[in-house]
Amino acid sequence: MTEREWPSSFHFGVATAGFQIEGGYNDLNQARNNWAEWADTGRVARAGAANRFWDEYEVQIDLAVAMGLTSFRLSIEWTRVEPVECQRDQSSVDRYREILSAIRQRGLEPLVTLHHFTHPEWLGPDPWLNDEGWRKLAGWYEYAVTTFGDLCHLWITSNEINIFAVNSYFHGIFPPGRRLDLAATMSTIDHLLAAHVAGYVAIKQLQPHSLVATNNYSFSIYELDRLILDTLYAHGRKLDDASRVAWLEERRRQHYRSVPAGRGIYRPLEALLRRLARQRISLGTALPVTRALLATTSTTRVQDVAQLDYYAPTVAEHITLPGMRTAGGRWRKTGRPLWDDRPDPAMFLAYVEEAGQDGLPVWIVENGMCIRRDERGSHPRRDGWSREQYLRHNIGALVTARQRGIDVQGYWHWTLIDNFEWGSYQPRFGLHGLNEDGSFSPLDSAGHDSAGAYGDIVRGLLANDFSVVTTLP
Tens of pLDDT along 454-466?
999 999 999 999 9
- pTM, whole model, 2 decimals? 0.97
Tens of pLDDT along 149-190?
999 999 999 999 999 999 999 999 999 999 999 999 999 999
Domain extent at residue 253: 11-468
Is position 6 within any domain? no
**What is the percentage of the chain residues whose pLDDT exceeds 90?**
95
Residue 85: band (very low, low, confident or very high) from pLDDT cuts 50, 70, 90: very high
pLDDT > 60? residue 226: yes
User: Which H helix or E strand runs over 12?
Assistant: strand 11-15
Tens of pLDDT along 208-223?
999 999 999 999 999 9
Tens of pLDDT along 339-370?
999 999 999 999 999 999 999 999 999 999 99
Is position 379 within any domain? yes
**pLDDT the model gives residue 64:** 98
Amino acid at 137: L
Q: How far apart are the C-alpha atoms of 428 and 138, rounded to whole Å?
A: 32
**pLDDT the model gives residue 259:** 84
Residue 3: band (very low, low, confident or very high) from pLDDT cuts 50, 70, 90: low
CATH of the domain at 458: 3.20.20.80
Is position 124 within any domain? yes
**pLDDT the model gives residue 159:** 98
pLDDT > 80? residue 260: no
Is position 426 within any domain? yes
Q: Which of 193, 188, 115 is nearest to 157 (CA)?
A: 115
Is position 473 within any domain? no
Tens of pLDDT along 21-52?
999 999 999 999 999 999 999 999 999 999 99
Amino acid at 53: F
What is the chain's percent helix, strand, coil content, to nearest 5? 45, 15, 40
**pLDDT the model gives residue 265:** 85
Is position 308 within any domain? yes
**pLDDT the model gives residue 2:** 55
> How many domains does the chain contain in total?
1
Q: Which of 345, 322, 346, 325 is nearest to 335 (CA)?
A: 322
> Could you write out the DSSP letters of every residue in 403-466?
HTT--EEEEEEE-SB----SS-S-EE--SB-B-TTS-B-SS-TTS--HHHHHHHHHHHHHTT-G
Is position 1 within any domain? no
Residue 4: band (very low, low, confident or very high) from pLDDT cuts 50, 70, 90: low
Tens of pLDDT along 265-276?
889 999 999 999
Tens of pLDDT along 106-147?
999 999 999 999 999 999 999 999 999 999 999 999 999 999
pLDDT > 70? residue 447: yes
Tell me what the mean pLDDT of segment 423-450 comes to: 96
pLDDT > 70? residue 1: no
Neighbouring residues of 287: CB distance < 8 A, sequence distance ≥ 6: 186, 189, 190, 193, 227, 228, 231
Is position 3 within any domain? no
Please provide the average confidence, as pLDDT, over all residues in the chain: 96
Tell me what the mean pLDDT of segment 375-381 comes to: 96
Compute how many other C-beta atoms are within 10 angstroms of the C-beta atom of residue 284: 11
Give, as one character, the DSSP assignment of residue 385: -
